[in-house]
Amino acid sequence: MTPDAINRLVAQLAKLPGIGEKSAQRLAFHVLRSPPEYARALAAALIEVVDRVKLCSRCFSLHDGPEGTFCGFCNDPRRDERLVCVVEGIADEMAIERTREFKGRYHVLHGVLSPLEGVGPEQLRIKELILRMQDTPIEEVIVATNPDVEGEATALYLTRLLKPIGVKVSRLAQGIPMGGDLEYADQATLARALAARRDL
């Protein structure tokens, strides 16, 4: 009989996305075999994450400062506060950040419009974006939602909301990834890129 403590750990690990019962077991035994400091450090890291990481109350990025303060992006005076990039989630924000090209601020929606899944504007951080327009001099909003059906609808929704306020709204261009991958681009991407071709 496996001790209950192990069963409990396996059960918790198996709840993680992408982790099946077997992998959970492997992970549990790995923890058990490792020096006890590892388990303590892991547990501390897990707890710290939930205790300290919150959402920035302005842009809803992740943030581990004290309650009521803003995140690193919002506090960085070198970042242009007139330019805001709207993303679906943290992973997209990280992807844009990796380019080191974007020097404005972010706004994380935490989802996209999806009536079939019961997600309407109220479930997203849209109201907060509009409120944000009132106390910061935002001139341009770049809507960087994914180019799928839900992402497009969300972008259109935001456009209709923001344009009347007098702010410039732009959308990420769609096309072929750089690096000569034309032959690997899927048909829909290629078709879109062809449609959005430009003069040289």
Partner 1 sequence: MKLLSLSYERFRNLEPVSFEPSPHATIAVGENGQGKTNLLEGLYLLATLKPLRANRLSELIRFGSPSAKVTGRFLINGAEREISVEIIPGGRTAFVDGKRAGSLDAYFGGVSVVAFTPDDLSVVKGGPDGRRAFLDRSVFNVQPAYLDESREYARALKNRNKLLKDHAPMSHLQAWDATLAKLGAKLWVRRRALMTALVERARASFQRIGRSPLEAQWHYEPAHLGEGIDFSAASEAELTERMLERLDARLTRDVERGFTSVGPHADDVEITLGDKPARAFASQGQCRALVLAWKVAEIENLQQANGFLPLLLLDDVSSELDPERNAFLMGYLADSGAQTLLTTTDAALVQRAAGADTKWFRVRAGTLTEEFRSASSTG
Please give the residue ranges that form the binding site for partner 1 (CB under 8 A). Answer: 113-116, 120-121, 148-150, 152-154, 156-157, 160-161, 184, 186-188, 190-191
Check binding of 108 to Zn ion (CB under 5 A): no
For residues 124 and 159, what is the distance between their CA atoms, to the nearest angstrom? 15
Site for Zn ion in 38-77 (CB under 5 A): 56, 58-59, 61, 70-71, 74
Please state the closest distance from residue 108 (CB atom) to Zn ion, in A: 9
Could you tell me the CA-to-CA distances from 155 to 119, 122, 146, 158, 172 in Å, in that order?
15, 15, 9, 5, 10
Nearer of residues 24 and 59 to Zn ion, judged by Cβ: 59
Coil, helix or strand for 42? helix
Site for Zn ion in 73-102 (CB under 5 A): 74
Nearer of residues 71 and 126 to Zn ion, judged by Cβ: 71
Nearer of residues 55 and 119 to Zn ion, judged by Cβ: 55
Please state the closest distance from residue 134 (CB atom) to Zn ion, in A: 16
Could you tell me the CA-to-CA distances from 148 to 31, 145, 153 in Å, in that order?
40, 8, 9
Coil, helix or strand for 177? coil
Nearer of residues 59 and 113 to partner 1, judged by Cβ: 113
For residues 99 and 176, what is the distance between their CA atoms, to the nearest angstrom? 17
Length of the chain: 200
